[in-house]
Structures are given as C-alpha cells and as structure tokens.
Amino acid sequence: MGACGRYNFVVIGSAKTFGQRLIAWYDRSRRDLPWRVDRTADPTVLPDPYHVFVSEAMLQQTQVATVVSYFHRFIERFPTLRSLAEADEQDVLRLWQGLGYYSRARNLRAAALRVMSDFDGELPRTVVELLTLPGVGRYTAGAISSIAFGNRSPIVDGNVARVVCRIDKIMADPRERTTAELLWARAEQILPHERLGDFNSALMELGATVCIPRLPQCLICPVNAHCEAFAAGVAQQIPPPKVAKLSPLEKRWTFIVRAGDRFLVEQRPATGRWASLWQFVTMPADDGDAAARLQKAIGLPVSAMRAMGEVTHALTHRRYEFTVFTCEVHQSDVPSRTWVTLAELDCLPLSRPQLKVAQMAHSLQVDITPI
C-alpha cells in the first residue's frame, strides 16, 4: 500500500492475493505463442532472451495475430543473435516487409551488432544495460529484463496502463506524462516477489484478452475482486476516450514507369520514414502536370500516361495518399534509379503502400507487349 499524488494505491483485498490470482489465471489461460516456453514440466523455466527481444520489437504497434507468422519466419532465417548481427540489412528489411515501422528492424539488427561487440554476444540482463541498445526504450528493457531474466523490472504498455488505471480507478488520461509516471510507479509497487516475468506478462495478457478497451469482461476477470473500477461500475469509462484529431495528409504521386517487362524503381534515403526501402518513382504531388514532372525527374520522354488509382496509408501521426500513374518509356540508364523485373522487385523490401503499388504493376504485366 502507498500513495502517489492524489491517488491512494490500494489493491482491494491484498496485493499478494492479487498477484497469486493473476498468475494462476495466466497459467491456465495464457495464449500459446511461439516466443513463450512450454511450462508443462517446470513452471519456472524462462524463455530464450533472443526470442523475447525479437518478439518485443515486433509487438510494438502491431497485433499479436500479425506478429506470429513474422516471428516464425524471422527466427527460421536468423536463429541466433549472431546470425542477425551478421545479416545484410536489406535481408532483414525484406523479412520485416508488411510489418511496418521499419526502424524497429534496423534497430534490432543494430542492437544485435552492439551486443556482439560490447556484451560478448550475450543479451544484457539489466534495464540500465538494455537501455544502451539501439531502439530499446523503458518498456522493452523492462520486458526483456523481467520476462527473459526474471528481474524485478516494471513495465507499462498500453494494456498494462489500462488494467492498472481500472484496478486503481485512475480516471486521468494514461497518455499524459504525469499519469504515465504514476503508472510506472504503480507497476513497480505491485510486482510480486517471484515469477516477475510471468506477473508482467499476465498483466499484459489480461489487458489484451479480458480487460479490453471496450466492453471489459469483468464478470470472468480473475482479479475483479481487487478492482476499484469494477466495484464502482465505471470500468468502461476508463481510460477516457481519445479526442479524435485528424492527422496531416501528405499527397504523393507514384509512377509505375515501364519499359517492356522492366520497371523503374529507386531506393529511399538511409534515414527518415521507410528508410532504405525501395519504391516506384515517387514525388510530392502538386497542382502541376504529373507527366512533365516525371519527365524532368527521370530525363526521359514518357508516353501512354494514365492514372491507375489511389493508395492510402495511415500512420499514427500522418496519413498518406499516393496517386498512382503508369506510363511507358524506352529503357535507358536513369541516374539514381534501377530497372527491375517484377520477379526482381519481389526480392526487394518495400513499404506497405508500395507493396500495393507493386500489386498494380503485377496486374499490368498481364497485357505487357514489348515496346
């Protein structure tokens, strides 16, 4: 029991019983996921730290159901931290294709390199050391330290924040900084003395499967006897709904430029959004003549230009709209750009919107005649 700000931290009943009930439920009900270990013989066995590291990177901003198949493919291709450190970045990005937020893949490989050089190839165990790795923040460090090494490290992700807010009937927005700090303090306070990784995993699992954003399943919740929001009948009001805000829209033109069975592509800069991925010729849209802008950009006359449609893509803070055109040219060298067949294109890492453009290009190939 303790106090922080204007909230009294009281787990109704006892904190010990709360932890015991939560872990007992986790043992019975947890989802069978490939980065978790089979506990049938020994409930205290810990998972492979590298598997935890890869899964935590993939799970940021991405649903579990999406991650599972990516995780299998990734571990099959890069079974060890060393194999990831020795991998070509383009191969790593190619395997990440479609998961989005590609900086996670680049950081994962960069972190593997750092572990090889600074930690003798062994993933560090403490939050302080883990925080020195590229792309590892407070949540990921806590998750690896507790889940893979059993350390007393709290974690707060979206699921944990929602569960803790409801258990303590915290009505404030968990996205606000002061509330977030309060939740980190609370997440540390409620840690039990054993099975720390399981306790953290159980909190996340409860948030993902029972204490869900809308319509929390309070009647079957293993810790409803400890929940202030349930007792007060306000679970659905916590956390307060996000104020809908339309993110800025960026408009782009993307050109499927083809010469016979070859398509003109370019690699994006090494920094920024979709860094180092490949794309069809893409530029900011304006009110001008798309064909003229393209001709100027590639230095070739174009013919048979027509619009094919639009591809939209929404990220957390930005929306994109790509107007896609196709046109034909005679194949010539184009500085900073490369001609590829569609089979070759399929081996290059592309962002999700460019994958959709590639599908449009595949549909064109059906009626390709040499020009």
Mind telling me the catalytic residues?
56
- Residues 228-267, one symbol each (x = binds ligand SF4 by CB under 6 A, - = not), give -xx----x--------------------------------
Give me the least distance between CB of 298 and ligand SF4, in Å please.
Answer: 56
Q: Which is nearer to ligand SF4, 210 or 302 (CB)?
A: 210
Measured between alpha carbons, how far is 106 from 91 in angstroms, rounded to an integer?
Answer: 11
Q: How many residues bind ligand SF4 (CB under 6 A)?
A: 15
Burial label, 176 (beta-carbon count in 10 A; 0-12, 13-18, 19+): exposed
Give me the least distance between CB of 165 and ligand SF4, in Å please.
Answer: 9
Q: Token pair of 330, please?
A: 């005679």
Q: Which of 94, 109, 166, 258 binds ligand SF4 (CB under 6 A)?
A: 166
Q: Which is nearer to ligand SF4, 47 or 222 (CB)?
A: 222
Q: Token pair of 145, please?
A: 């330290």
The three-state secondary structure class of 77 is: helix
Q: Which is nearer to ligand SF4, 141 or 167 (CB)?
A: 167
Give me the least distance between CB of 191 and ligand SF4, in Å please.
Answer: 17
- Residues 122-161, one symbol each (x = binds ligand SF4 by CB under 6 A, - = not), give ----------------------------------------
Site for ligand SF4 in 206-225 (CB under 6 A): 210-211, 216-218, 221, 223-224
Are 28 and 43 spatial neighbours (Cβ–Cβ below 8 Å)? Answer: no
Measured between alpha carbons, how far is 89 from 78 in angstroms, rounded to an integer?
Answer: 12
DSSP letters spanning 79-92: -SHHHHHTS-HHHH
Is residue 19 close enough to count as binding ligand SF4 by CB under 6 A? no
Could you give the dihedral angle defined by the CA atoms of residues 329, 331, 336 and 342, in that order, rounded to the nearest 10 degrees?
90
Which residues have C-beta within 8 Å of that of residue 215, sequence separation ≥ 6? 236
Q: Which of 148, 227, 300, 311 binds ligand SF4 (CB under 6 A)?
A: 227
Measured between alpha carbons, how far is 252 from 255 in angstroms, rounded to an integer?
Answer: 10
Give me the least distance between CB of 29 and ligand SF4, in Å please.
Answer: 13
Q: Token pair of 101, please?
A: 């937020």
Residue 258 parent element (H or E): strand 249-259
- Residues 88-127, one symbol each (x = binds ligand SF4 by CB under 6 A, - = not), give ----------------------------------------
Give me the least distance between CB of 367 and ligand SF4, in Å please.
Answer: 55
Is residue 190 close enough to count as binding ligand SF4 by CB under 6 A? no
Q: Which is nearer to ligand SF4, 107 or 224 (CB)?
A: 224
Q: Which is nearer to ligand SF4, 150 or 192 (CB)?
A: 192
Q: Which is nearer to ligand SF4, 103 or 209 (CB)?
A: 209
Is residue 167 close enough to count as binding ligand SF4 by CB under 6 A? yes
Measured between alpha carbons, how far is 305 from 189 in angstroms, rounded to an integer?
Answer: 64
Q: Which is nearer to ligand SF4, 28 or 317 (CB)?
A: 28
Give the distance between the most distant pair of CA atoms in the chain: 78
Give me the least distance between CB of 305 and ligand SF4, in Å please.
Answer: 56
The candidate with the shortest Cα–Cα distance to 320, out of 345, 287, 285, 289, is 285
Which residues have C-beta within 8 Å of that of residue 222, sequence separation ≥ 6? 21, 22, 24, 25, 206, 210
Give me the least distance between CB of 10 and ligand SF4, in Å please.
Answer: 14
Q: For residue 42, what are the CA distances in angstroms to 38, 47, 101, 145, 319?
A: 8, 12, 36, 20, 48
Measured between alpha carbons, how far is 331 from 145 in angstroms, rounded to an integer?
Answer: 54
| Interface positions with ligand SF4 (CB under 6 A) | 163, 166-167, 210-211, 216-218, 221, 223-224, 227, 229-230, 235
